[in-house]
Chain A
Amino acid sequence: MKINPELVTRAITGFIKAETARAGFKKVVLGLSGGLDSTVCACLAVRALGHDKVLALIMPYKNLDEAGVAHAEKVASLLKIKSRKIDISPQIDLYFEKYPTDSQVLKGNKMARERMSILYDFSAREKALILGTSNKTELLIGYGTIHGDMACGINPMGDLYKTQVRELGRYLQIPEEILKKKPTAGLWPGQTDEEEIGLSYEELDQILYRLVDLRQSAEEIIRSGFEEKKVKRIVEMIKRSEFKRRMPPIVKISNRTVGHDFLYPYDWDK
């Protein structure tokens, strides 16, 4: 499942360029967390449009991920892109003071949607298309917040597994410390994706690649030496998260219905 990074870069930068122009924008905006995905995405955006056309929003909650903020600032300065730091703590705290919870997941989702809301606001203010930073691994297992970090104008890296994004990052020569650090959704201090998902990205991607790209059955994958429990869990995660990958279903009543038989392309007249 190794990629051809040169070809992938060409395809993605061409996509960013074409879709930005078609949407009627000259600029793009993205949330920069200082993690691997948003760093690679920022890098691709700069290659596609130039550093003066990319705006990065760094949106920390208190000091939940100080290392991330430092990395994001470093990436912005390395890429010479404009960045703005927007602290989301006041509005998040205000909400949870009123509706308290101990659930880190609820808090994390709320933060993800707050960042989404700011990104859409800045998209309109700055006339900039929002670049999503979700990768194929996250999309397939549903490791993301619906209408939160999954919301965007276009998704340039949605067909690359996490380990492939890392490969691409290496090719694009992003800072070594970002390539090496443990991926985190920044839900709580010290949180890592792999601990929360219960699998390493290497193993997860190997199984997903076999299931999705090679169209192997769970049984075949288990027979080839992967742990049954893990394979079955991944299959279940894919199934349970389909709703995050689709527009909500509309109950069909009329003869012609949005999503059912009123079907127009996204790039219509563009």
Chain B
Amino acid sequence: MKIALAQISTVLGNTEKNLEKHLKLVKKATAAGADLLVFPELSLTGYNLKDLTTEVALSPASSPMFRKLLEASRRIDLVVGFAEESEHQTGLVYNSAAYLSRGNLVHIHRKVYLPTSGMFEEGRFFARGGEFRTFSTRFARTGLLICRDFLHYGSSYCLMAGGAGLFIIISAAPGRGASETSGQGFETSRMWELMGETISFFSSAVVVYCNRAGYEDGMVFAGGSFVYSPFGKMIARLPYLEESFKILEVDLSEIKKARRSWPFQRDERPELVWRSLERIVRGNHED
């Protein structure tokens, strides 16, 4: 399959301008024959929203902007990031990722781990998502994660246990650490790559990571989006720091081959992990 990565910068809080950019890239990716186009975290809104969070939030069921994206998804599968106004829990806004295909909303993942320390304050403005669930796409069993979700390895475990052969992580990760040992990118870029390499190999899955570029209030989004093969090999990495658009050929038949070489998934025991976790969680509660 051909996956297009849109490592873009956005206009903070201006969903219309950002939508325009999305639709332009949809055209570009479609013309190049891509099957799936992935945008970064909060690609429709920008990241550092603060009080704008509730103002730019939209409800996929009723938003005219979302309708345009659904329309665009008739030609190419899309993953977009947005602030989601909850339909059922009035007033709540989630940091969400949507998978759109053939005019349908296939799946929404709401970010579970909201970084709220140091330079991050997501927990102040967003409600927390409640689950990790895999879903079927026309390519593979698929899982969606948003940025920090991927750094908690329990999230990837759930996707793996749910049978995902395609992990898609959308991100708005700022770069930090520019010491002499940092190489071409920030020190934190290595952290994402380390996880990408590990999770792709030990889950025998394709890992697609799409990060942002650009600046917001002094934050430097690190770029460096990447794709790892189910054998843990880096298929490609986009440049650090700058905006970039790239279409990559990914061989999905490798998922099967990797799982035959290393049957981690066959031998996995989620029910045993579940029981052990249950004991641990109960034990912690009793303390």
Instruction: Provide the A3-38 mask, 1 if CB < 8 A to any CB of B, else 0.
Output: 110011011001100110000000000000000000
* Contact A2 B180, CB 8 Å, known A10-B241, A265-B13, A269-B11: yes
On chain A, the residues within 8 Å of B180 by CB distance are: 2-4
Q: Decide yes or no whether B215 CB sits under 8 A from chain A.
A: yes
Q: Decide yes or no whether A263 CB sits under 8 A from chain B.
A: yes
Q: Decide yes or no whether B179 CB sits under 8 A from chain A.
A: yes
Are A18 and B12 in touch, CB under 8 angstroms? no
Are A263 and B51 in touch, CB under 8 angstroms? yes
Q: Which of B16-72 contact A (CB under 8 A)?
A: 46, 48-52
Chain B contributes a number of interface residues (CB within 8 A of A) equal to 30
On chain A, the residues within 8 Å of B9 by CB distance are: 18
Are B13 and A268 in touch, CB under 8 angstroms? yes
Are B52 and A1 in touch, CB under 8 angstroms? no
Are A266 and B220 in touch, CB under 8 angstroms? no
Question: Whole-angstrom distance between the alpha carbons of A87 and B120 in the complex?
Answer: 44
The 8 Å CB contact of A14, one of B12, B184, B185, B242, is B242
Are A7 and B14 in touch, CB under 8 angstroms? no
Question: Whole-angstrom distance between the alpha carbons of A4 and B180 in the complex?
Answer: 4
* Contact A269 B14, CB 8 Å, known A3-B180, A11-B220: yes
Q: Decide yes or no whether A177 CB sits under 8 A from chain B.
A: no
Question: Whole-angstrom distance between the alpha carbons of A265 and B214 in the complex?
Answer: 15
Question: Whole-angstrom distance between the alpha carbons of A269 and B48 in the complex?
Answer: 11
Residue of B nearest to A160 (CB): B178
Binding site for A on B (CB under 8 A): 9, 11-14, 46, 48-52, 175, 178-186, 214-218, 220, 240-242
A8-B178, A269-B13 provided; 11 other pairs, C-beta below 8 A?
A3-B179, A3-B180, A11-B241, A19-B215, A265-B50, A265-B216, A265-B217, A266-B217, A268-B52, A269-B14, A270-B11
Are A7 and B217 in touch, CB under 8 angstroms? no
Question: Which 3 residue pairs across A and B have the least CB separation, nearest first?
Answer: A2-B180, A263-B50, A266-B217
Are B50 and A3 in touch, CB under 8 angstroms? no
Question: Whole-angstrom distance between the alpha carbons of A269 and B51 in the complex?
Answer: 13
Question: Whole-angstrom distance between the alpha carbons of A263 and B51 in the complex?
Answer: 5
On chain B, the residues within 8 Å of A11 by CB distance are: 175, 178, 220, 241
On chain B, the residues within 8 Å of A2 by CB distance are: 179-180
The 22 sampled A-B contact pairs (Cβ below 8 Å) are: A2-B179, A3-B179, A3-B180, A4-B180, A4-B181, A7-B182, A7-B186, A7-B240, A8-B178, A11-B178, A14-B215, A18-B9, A263-B51, A264-B52, A265-B48, A265-B52, A266-B218, A267-B12, A267-B215, A268-B12, A269-B14, A270-B11
Question: Whole-angstrom distance between the alpha carbons of A28 and B7 in the complex?
Answer: 28
Question: Whole-angstrom distance between the alpha carbons of A19 and B214 in the complex?
Answer: 10
Are B185 and A7 in touch, CB under 8 angstroms? yes
Counting chain A residues whose Cβ lies within 8 A of the other chain, the interface size class is 20 to 34
Question: Whole-angstrom distance between the alpha carbons of A269 and B257 in the complex?
Answer: 47
Query: Shortest CB–CB separation between residue B118 and chain A, in angstroms?
Result: 11
* Contact A265 B12, CB 8 Å, known A7-B186, A14-B241, A15-B220: yes
On chain A, the residues within 8 Å of B183 by CB distance are: 4
* Contact A269 B12, CB 8 Å, known A10-B241, A264-B52: yes
Question: Whole-angstrom distance between the alpha carbons of A2 and B242 in the complex?
Answer: 24
Are B216 and A15 in touch, CB under 8 angstroms? no
Are B178 and A18 in touch, CB under 8 angstroms? no
On chain B, the residues within 8 Å of A14 by CB distance are: 215, 220, 241-242
Residue of B nearest to A11 (CB): B220
Question: Whole-angstrom distance between the alpha carbons of A169 and B241 in the complex?
Answer: 22
* Contact A15 B242, CB 8 Å, known A3-B178, A4-B182, A265-B50: no
On chain B, the residues within 8 Å of A263 by CB distance are: 50-51
A4, A262, A263: residue with the most chain B Cβ atoms closer than 10 Å: A4
Are B12 and A7 in touch, CB under 8 angstroms? no
